[in-house]
Structure 1
């Protein structure tokens, strides 16, 4: 059963008027399902190829919008049929797409293989996402400035990500940075403008140059040492996702464990983005980082029960119904 407090938080997300802005990527996901992932140089048989809407920023925006948040996505699509496909799905999810520009370029794409256990491999081709320039971001600075929170990932050029973070920081808009695709050394300018960092456990250890627990038990991990290492990088708040072991919220020296929720996973593609989108929605609603991460566990858990990224995201009604059965 879903915790009653979390149920109430999810139900009330859509009643708040604060908005979210997201700067970044949209991709058409070319997805094939197979019994197991191929080894290097190996060919395995797969099922029918399907095209699904994706891109980390598009996913994060769609996830937040579907649970009732007010979201504006700033980015670029190309001049191809994939652009129409991506914009239609974002619009249907409730995302404001007015700040998405169309360029003379192919839209972003990913090639995804998903095995029978729901694990995946992903290859990313930026396309029009690579042309989201600092000047394009500045054209929509008012949208960022008027938002309660800005969501960023690293599928866009780094100088554009930094520009968006600077604009938000200058207007007291909370900046949440998902270090994905992973960069071991985040530029100082981005770290200075970042309020909250979101990474998984492996990325955290690589960033901080510390060892992972040999037994993969994160309960007894030296979280105090991780906090100090993050603070040395000017990062006071972070959310560390631990896969099936849940997540950890670090908030100005305090460390809170967030349990995962149990589901029968079908496809984990986009679950991390659903988690991120929910944290954005929670923060915009005025929730604590801890409460936002609690909500995110359920939203991401629901996403794992369906195929694809945006295609697997649920409304509050669908999510609460699943976990209250």
Structure 2
């Protein structure tokens, strides 16, 4: 895909959570008060911010991660994982709190339940960061005032992945250029500012780009064998941002993002080793 109208390696800052994912893969998800005893345990890098940074870097972005970790072995694991993906980690702050942990249960169909212990993510500080990047990507696993601060001061595209669902200040939405949500997250919004580009994901049914309620592009889902849906939305978000900044047409960027999301679902890792985004353009 030509990048004549965009930036081949766009500069992206990801402001968000950094977690170690402790995952039990079981035949089915337990119900309330129930124990399922056939689990297989894995421990992998995760966190919505870290997932998006890793994906954006592997897909071709020039990415830096803005976040906080503890002074522990989990922090070393996360620094190493982000470094392998090509993410600049010089802005990671160390805190006395433990590195964030996500406790995840995944069933044989790839569906999941997640409980997060934020730890150092609650102590992220954006006040000394200059946001002169082509885009700043944020999610909602960190304190809202830090998200709002980054959105206010960003000079490039402001991308908000409004997940997990929280009450959002109108000022944050008014400062957002690209809003990335699934259907449930979209329905929870009481305000979408005029002119904001909105990407809505429909799981296996693909995704859609809209502006002011008008559909700009619709992409079908890419057939795949689901292994785990954890991190798939993060991969989609990262791919869409890289594609749009490279100058892909909206439909092409959306289709490539859906292909990346499908590749993530087919991989047990929360942070798969993606190739360059061009490889996912049909």
TM-score tier, shorter chain, comes to over 0.9
CA distance in 1, matches of 2:209, 2:70: 37
Question: What's the Cα RMSD here?
Answer: 2.3
Deviations, residues 89-133 of structure 1 (Å, cap 9, x unaligned): 00000111111111111001100001000111110111100001x
Contiguous gaps of at least 5 residues in structure 1: 1-7, 209-228
Structure number with greater Rg is 1
Q: Is 1:149 aligned to residue 131 of structure 2?
A: no
CA distance in 2, matches of 1:69, 1:104: 31
CA distance 1:79–1:290, change in 2 (3 Å): same
Q: Is 1:179 aligned to residue 162 of structure 2?
A: yes
Q: Is 1:245 aligned to residue 227 of structure 2?
A: no
CA contact (8 A) 2:4 2:247 kept: no
Counterparts of residues 71-90 of structure 1 (less than 5 Å): 71-90=63-82
CA distance in 2, matches of 1:14, 1:130: 35
Secondary structure of 1:49's counterpart equals strand
Q: Which has the higher strand share?
A: 2
1:288 offset after TM fit, Å? Answer: 4.1
- Which of residues 99, 110, 114 in structure 1 aligns to 2:106? 114
Secondary structure of 1:160's counterpart equals helix
Q: Which has the higher helix share?
A: 1
TM-score by length of 1: 0.81
CA distance in 1, matches of 2:106, 2:257: 23
Secondary structure of 1:84's counterpart equals helix
TM-score by length of 2: 0.93
CA distance 1:271–1:12, change in 2 (3 Å): farther
CA distance in 2, matches of 1:124, 1:235: 33
CA distance in 1, matches of 2:199, 2:57: 21
- Which of residues 174, 179, 182 in structure 2 aligns to 1:192? 174
Q: Is 1:287 aligned to residue 248 of structure 2?
A: yes
- Which of residues 196, 211, 229 in structure 2 aligns to 1:236? 196
CA distance 1:12–1:188, change in 2 (3 Å): same
